[in-house]
Structure 1
Amino acid sequence: MITEQAPGKLYIAGEYAVLEQNCPAILVAVNEFVRVSIAKSTGTSGLIHSKQYSQDSIHWIRKGNQMVIDNRDNPFEYILSAINFTERFCLEQKVSMSLYDLHVNSDLDSADGKKYGLGSSAAVTVATVKAILNFYGLHCTKDLIFKLSAISHYSVQGNGSAGDIAASVYGGWLAYQTFDKAWLKKELATKSLSEVLNEAWPGLKIQLLTPPEGLNLVIGWSQKPASTSQLVDKTNAKKKFIKTQYDTFLDESRKCVLDMIKGFNEKNISLIQKQIRLNRQLLKDFASLNHIAIEIPRLTKLINIAEQFNGAAKTSGAGNGDCGIVIADEKTDIEEMKNNWRKNGIMPLNFLVHSIA
């Protein structure tokens, strides 16, 4: 039995803008994991089993008179895609295929099955890719695992930046810029998978960051799950109608995140906190422009309480639920802040940053 794991992630800054080229975001990997165990099958068929995902709901939409299933929130779709692309790569390496059983176990949901918003689809994709590569005896670099996982994930989701994939592969704090999706689609249509995996991907940048001493990341959960893919769909649909404002948002988000990266490089917590507050406002303006709810009332409450305790706070990820994050320093009474959160229906999550050697 081989077991591989991949950590969940949280966005710190740069959400929505990160979907575009040359717009960085900052993410962090957290010490909650998806684990995938793989073993040679003893029967005449292989098995894919997950205790958590067996009861998952399926979303669907109406297109004319047709009922269309939206599988982007179904973890099994990501597992199957990861198997498909990883085995394709293995076949190109002249590896003989065999039957196996996959067992998936996840920490990335609450006890009652609600999603925290830690990027479970990305983590299960990465853990599946790693498990299959290990099963077939292929020891690959993090860069190759990232690319294979990004292709697998994107083929199901159809949108997104793959920043959550990067956090699950590289761990720790990182600055991330997405790759050229049109270029990748063209390459995959004309070259072997192995060739594409070994190429430099235009636009892709992944930089590990070291947080300043005294910086504390505090996480609160709204107890309301959200769907990233559906929110991204809504904003993508409006882009062409608000082009000038959208371009301004991208420019301002880029500058904000670059200044935040400078704060990490200069060990300047105050600069990081200043940019967290600015990024919050940029996202609020973006939400208003797109008529979407990124900062729901409970997340606003989380942020306002954090600010009372000298913490710089904002939503994390697509918003409309899930988590809020706080960048705190030695002036922040973290325990009292968490007590105030609990009184207001916000659950503190005692996750730590997970680094990968």
Structure 2
Amino acid sequence: MIAVKTCGKLYWAGEYAILESGQLALIKAIPIYIKAEIAFSENYRIYSDMFDFAVDLTPNPDYSLIQETIALVGDFLAVRGQTLRPFSLEIRGKMEREGKKFGLGSSGSVVVLVIKALLALYDITVDPELLFKLASAVLLKRGDNGSMGDLACIVSEDLILYQSFDRQKVATWLEEESLATVLERDWGFSISQVQPGLECDFLVGWTKQVAVSSQMVQQIKQNIDQNFLSSSKATVSALVEALEQGHAEKIIEQVETASQLLEGLSPDIYTPSLRQLKQASQDLQAVAKSSGAGGGDCGIALSFDEQSTETIKNRWADLGIELLYQERIGHDDKS
């Protein structure tokens, strides 16, 4: 039996803008994991604890994401002259509580997890870039129009700066060309690790509300204009520079700017709970903002002294916001 795992992710900056090709986002891996165990077996058996039943490769609507990921890995194996053989795959670890998702990118985590499990089963090692391409290909073939930033972060398991690619162009390649050809092409994305030059506390607060629906995301996307895109790109670049230089005041300033850009994009992004989560950092050596699509789910905070960290945690607790995760980030942290 082979065991693999994948993490979750949260955006620090660049949400919505990253949907446009060539845009930037800063995304942090969160070590809340989903795990898989896989082994060759007599028959295909796929089980996820999201559901109360197992399937084989016969198409099933609940398991379609997993089954389509398996199909793509099957194509990848064929490119290498190998054949998919029956296996047993078990997936455990829901990124949710009481049926409410945390918003850590669980569908992206599942795709990467299934690919990692199958490649491990066949003793195939790939670099993060190829893993990202394989996972993106699964979602693009499904007609998913996300930025793929979650996948970039999940394969890197780090704090990353992601530059998005032209997804329509790659989707067309996937329709018209062989998988081998498409995987060898330059897609035009970049994924680079960001190493903060100072120590700070990174906090994740969960509002226990479900984020905006895909329909609402479509509506919000219609508000994106060139001014928003150029402002977002400049803000993410300045934030990365401030982090790498270890400049706390500039970090606070740029995260605040990123937050204001989202507020200006749509009033639906900041729910009352997310607004309270953000306001909890006021008058402190800290900054907080919504993370991801908004309208619920999680917000993040960066705190630059111990007292500010404790104050935010207490304020969040009083507001009914759950501290989902806390991490000490900084130049001495090699974890």
Aligned to 2:84: 97
Larger helix proportion, structure 1 or 2?
1
Shift of residue 53, structure 1, vs aligned partner? 3.9
CA distance in 2, matches of 1:338, 1:320: 21
Shift of residue 137, structure 1, vs aligned partner? 2.4
CA distance in 2, matches of 1:332, 1:166: 34
Aligned to 1:253: 232
Shift of residue 353, structure 1, vs aligned partner? 8.0
Provide closer, same or farther for how the CA distance between residues 228 and 12 of structure 1 changes in structure 2, counting only shifts above 3 A. Answer: farther
Aligned to 2:200: 215
CA distance in 2, matches of 1:274, 1:192: 47
- Show CA shifts across 1:305-341 (max 9, x none): 1224332111000001000101110264312321221
CA distance in 1, matches of 2:328, 2:306: 21
Letter in 2 for 1:319: G
Which of 47, 50, 57 pairs up with 1:49?
47
TM-score by length of 1: 0.85
Query: Does residue 319 in structure 1 map to residue 317 in structure 2?
Result: no
Aligned to 2:19: 19
Shift of residue 350, structure 1, vs aligned partner? 2.4
Query: Gaps spanning 5+ residues in structure 2: where?
Result: 54-60
Aligned to 2:58: none
Letter in 2 for 1:160: G
Query: Does residue 144 in structure 1 map to residue 119 in structure 2?
Result: no
CA RMSD of aligned residues (A): 2.2
Shift of residue 157, structure 1, vs aligned partner? 5.4
> What is the identity percentage for the equivalent residue pairs of Structure 1 and Structure 2?
30
Aligned to 1:193: 179
Aligned to 1:298: 273
Provide closer, same or farther for how the CA distance between residues 129 and 21 of structure 1 changes in structure 2, counting only shifts above 3 A. Answer: same
Aligned to 1:167: 153
Query: Alignment partner of 2:203: what SS?
Result: strand
Query: Alignment partner of 2:225: what SS?
Result: helix
Shift of residue 192, structure 1, vs aligned partner? 1.2
- Show CA shifts across 1:85-119 (max 9, x none): 11111111111221111101125222x23211100
Query: Does residue 156 in structure 1 map to residue 142 in structure 2?
Result: yes
The answer to whether the 8 Å contact 1:311/1:332 transfers is no
Query: Alignment partner of 2:162: what SS?
Result: strand
Report how many aligned residue pairs link the two structures: 325
Query: Alignment partner of 2:301: what SS?
Result: strand
CA distance in 1, matches of 2:46, 2:99: 19
Query: Does residue 85 in structure 1 map to residue 72 in structure 2?
Result: yes
Provide closer, same or farther for how the CA distance between residues 309 and 88 of structure 1 changes in structure 2, counting only shifts above 3 A. Answer: same
The answer to whether the 8 Å contact 1:32/1:351 transfers is no
Provide closer, same or farther for how the CA distance between residues 347 and 117 of structure 1 changes in structure 2, counting only shifts above 3 A. Answer: same
Query: Alignment partner of 1:101: what SS?
Result: strand
Provide closer, same or farther for how the CA distance between residues 89 and 228 of structure 1 changes in structure 2, counting only shifts above 3 A. Answer: farther
Provide closer, same or farther for how the CA distance between residues 273 and 157 of structure 1 changes in structure 2, counting only shifts above 3 A. Answer: farther
Higher mean C-alpha displacement, 26-35 vs 78-87: 78-87
Provide closer, same or farther for how the CA distance between residues 145 and 222 of structure 1 changes in structure 2, counting only shifts above 3 A. Answer: same
Higher mean C-alpha displacement, 261-270 vs 213-222: 261-270
Shift of residue 356, structure 1, vs aligned partner? 10
CA distance in 2, matches of 1:81, 1:352: 35
Letter in 2 for 1:106: G
The answer to whether the 8 Å contact 2:49/2:94 transfers is no
Query: Does residue 129 in structure 1 map to residue 115 in structure 2?
Result: yes
The answer to whether the 8 Å contact 1:126/1:165 transfers is yes
Shift of residue 230, structure 1, vs aligned partner? 3.6
Query: Alignment partner of 2:85: what SS?
Result: coil
Letter in 2 for 1:162: M
Shift of residue 188, structure 1, vs aligned partner? 1.2
Query: Alignment partner of 2:315: what SS?
Result: helix
- Show CA shifts across 1:235-278 (max 9, x none): 34x35xxxxx6111111111111111111232222212111000
Where do residues 204-243 of structure 1 align in structure 2 (5 Å cutoff)?
Answer: 204-227=189-212, 229-236=214-221, 238=222
Shift of residue 135, structure 1, vs aligned partner? 1.2
CA distance in 2, matches of 1:228, 1:83: 27
Provide closer, same or farther for how the CA distance between residues 154 and 353 of structure 1 changes in structure 2, counting only shifts above 3 A. Answer: farther
Letter in 2 for 1:46: Y
Which of 263, 269, 273 pairs up with 2:252?
273
CA distance in 1, matches of 2:327, 2:179: 35
The answer to whether the 8 Å contact 2:112/2:151 transfers is yes
Query: Alignment partner of 2:30: what SS?
Result: strand
Query: Gaps spanning 5+ residues in structure 1: where?
Result: 56-70, 240-244
TM-score by length of 2: 0.91
- Show CA shifts across 1:285-317 (max 9, x none): 1014xxxx1110001011111224332111000
Query: Alignment partner of 1:255: what SS?
Result: helix
Shift of residue 228, structure 1, vs aligned partner? 5.8
Letter in 2 for 1:231: M
Provide closer, same or farther for how the CA distance between residues 336 and 347 of structure 1 changes in structure 2, counting only shifts above 3 A. Answer: same
